[in-house]
Amino acid sequence: MNDAVEKSPKGQAADTPLAGKNVLLCITGGIACYKVAILASRLVQAGSAVSVAMTAAAERFVTPLTFQTLTGRRVYTSLWQAGEDFDSHHLSLTGSADLMIIAPATADIMAKMASGIADDLVSTLALSVHGACPILIAPAMNTRMWLAPPTQDNLARLKRWGVHVIGPEEGRLACDTTGPGRMSEPEEILAAATRILRA
């Protein structure tokens, strides 16, 4: 598959702030991963070139092939891919990005970002992207994890550093409880990305 941006049915990329933009879509492990497939499709339909990076946990929920098919681009799953192709080097991926989206953003990735930990591909991308482009995270987790003091402290620190946050929403969660923790819907994340790139 080539890395061409998907066009609209009339052969033109959508005329939106996302058209022609390079979006680095990072996916961490959570049941909300299935929604990110819809987000990837919407980004491509809006005219963006979407590069996807996944954690090992994310691969347990949705396969890289799903995102390769939706974006028409290679999916990155390991820091060691850089040895095969320089274009997969984390500095190369973040250096060409106009926007980084992390969805779902688990408590784990938020803690790593807030502490400067870079022990896998996505956390390394999150650390190396600072100063290169805006970051938008869409948290998703169990309500108790979301409300836990460490998570709220990490959230405050990330916001202080300029990280954009959308959600989470209140509703029924996969753990059969109700409360804040649902990842925002793909359309809402897309709208937030549009606002960031329009600013």
Angle at 61 between CA 57 and CA 64, to 5 degrees: 85
Determine contact, residues 3/72, Cβ cutoff 8 Å: yes
d(CA 161, CA 139) in angstroms, rounded, equals 16
**DSSP states of 18-66 as a string?**
TTT-EEEEEE-SSTTHHHHHHHHHHHHHTT-EEEEEE-HHHHTTS-HHH
d(CA 20, CA 16) in angstroms, rounded, equals 9
Active-site residue set: 175
